[in-house]
Structure 1
Amino acid sequence: MSFQSVDLTRTGETVTLTLVTKKGTLGPGFWREMPAVLRELSGARAVVLRGQELFSAGLDLHATGPQILPVLGDEAGFTALVAEMHAAIEGLAALPVPVIAAVHGWCIGAGLELIAAADIRLCSADARFSLPEVRLGITADLGGLQRLPPLIGQGRAAHLALTGEPIDAATAERWGLVTEVHATPEALFARAQALAEGLAALPPRALEGTKRVLNDGLPHRQSLDSAVAWNARHMSAEALTGALRK
């Protein structure tokens, strides 16, 4: 299946999703297509998410604004409209395989909320990140205010969200938003692909269980029990025997 806003490329057991909308703006087409895009990932063992000339300029307000204006003040109507956007981001977060966000250039607003739903975030030295919704009279409502505090800390998340000021790649790495900064976009994409291929070679049930336990949000004891229960159900005797032979 082909899509207008996302290019899907398979390389072995990895899939690269490239945002192909103008400047990576996330308009109605992107939100509408994403559930189908995610269904096309069956069989993938790792996913790379990236942009073209930049990662993302955020929500396409010119295209989305006409949909938003009629439902302002109508809580039910507004909630229904945003539900489609939530489904796209929550669906990405819910994938049972690792998702690597490879960010170059600007990553703004909804783009930042999108990469917060990934498991691993890498960037190139030219990357810039911002959550500028407050400057537009908006409270960010696509998951950034929920996912960023555990990633970078409450204070740093508040700084991003309340000021709307951008941060550069070095600051993003220092804050823990990304784990690696690469000199060029080309080096970034090569590293993301190599990392995806390395992850795809690992036991899939172990990766899925690790991702579930990391993201389940359970209290400490319950999370421990969840990890033990997952291993009890899914630990591979073949993988364990192979590891003991090494």
Structure 2
Amino acid sequence: MSFQSVNLTRMGETVTLTLVTKKGTLGPGFWREMPAVLRELSDARAVILRGQELFSAGLDLHATGPQILPLLGDQAGFTALVDEMHAAIEGLAALPVPVIAAVHGWCIGAGLELIAAADVRLCSADARFSLPEVKLGITADLGGLQRLPPLIGQGRAVHLALSGDPIDAVTAERWGLVTEVHPSPEALFVRAQALADQLAALPPRAVEGTKRVLNDGLPHRQSMAAAVAWNARHMNAEVLMNALRK
């Protein structure tokens, strides 16, 4: 199936989702297509999320503005519109397989909120990250204010969100937003593919269970109980014995 806002390419059991809109801007077409895009990922064992000339310039305000402006003051209508965007990001986060964001160039606003829903974030040395909504009179509402504090700490999330100022790749790694910085986009994409292949080769039920327990946000004891319950239901004796023989 072909899409206007993304390209899907497969290599083995991994799928790369490339944003193909102008400068990676996330306009109405992206949000509209994402449910079908996510369905196309149902047989993937790992997913790479990336851009073309840069990762993402954020929400396409020129295309989305005409939808948003008539709804200002209409809480029900505005909420219904933004819920479509929420569904796309939450659907990405809910995939049972690892999602690796490979960021080069700018990653702004909604783009940053999108990668916050990924499981692993890598970048190249030219990457820049910002959450500038406050400068536009907007409170970021696509999950960034909720996901960033556990990733980078409350103080750093507050600094990023209230200042609206960008951070570079070195700072992003130091803060924990990304786990690796690579010298060039080319090196980044090679590493992202290698990591995706590595994760795709792991037992899928173990990967899914690990994602669920990490992301459920349950209190400590409940989270441990959830991990035990998952293993009781899904641990594969054959996989375990094969691993022990190595």
TM-score by length of 2: 1.00
Runs of 4+ in 1 over 6 A off after TM superposition: none
| Residue in 2 that maps onto 1:40 | 40
The corresponding residue for 1:112 is: 112
3-state DSSP class of the match of 1:30? helix
1:158 corresponds to: 158
Q: 1:1-246 to 2 correspondence within 5 Å?
A: 1-246=1-246
Q: CA deviation at 1:50?
A: 0.1
Distance 1:114 1:7 in 2: 17
CA offset at residue 43 of structure 1?
A: 1.1
**Which secondary structure state, in structure 2, belongs to the residue aligned with residue 159 of structure 1?**
helix
Q: 1:49 deviation in Å?
A: 0.1
CA distance in 2, matches of 1:35, 1:104: 25
- Separation (CA, whole Å) in 1 of partners of 2:13 and 2:76: 41
Secondary structure in 1 matching 2:83: helix
**How far apart in 2 are the matches of 1:244 and 1:55?**
41
Deviation at 1:212, TM superposition (A): 0.3
Helix, strand or coil for the counterpart of 2:142? coil
Code of the aligned partner of 2:64 = T
The one-letter code sitting in structure 2 at the alignment partner of 1:185 is: P
Sequence identity (%) = 89
Amino acid at match of 2:196: A
- Give the AA of the match of 1:125: A
Offset at residue 35 of structure 1 (A): 0.6
Paired positions, count: 246
Structure 1 residue 146 displacement after superposition = 0.2
Q: Aligned to 1:48, what secondary structure does the other structure show?
A: strand
RMSD: 0.3
Once the 2 structures are TM-superposed, how far is the Cα of residue 170 of structure 1 from its aligned partner?
A: 0.1
Give the Cα separation in 1 of the matches to 2:54 and 2:131.
16
For 1:42 and 1:146, the matched residues in 2 are separated by 26
Instruction: Tell me how far 1:65 sits from its aligned partner.
Output: 0.2
Distance 2:27 2:245 in 1: 52
Letter in 2 for 1:153: G
**CA–CA distance in structure 2, aligned partners of residues 191 and 243 of structure 1:** 25
Aligned residue for 2:32, secondary structure, equals: helix
Q: Report the residue type matching 1:111 in the other structure.
A: G
- The code of the aligned residue for 2:134 comes to V
Q: Distance in 2 between matches of 1:25 and 1:238?
A: 46
Q: In the aligned structure 1, how far is the partner of 2:149 from the partner of 2:90? A: 17
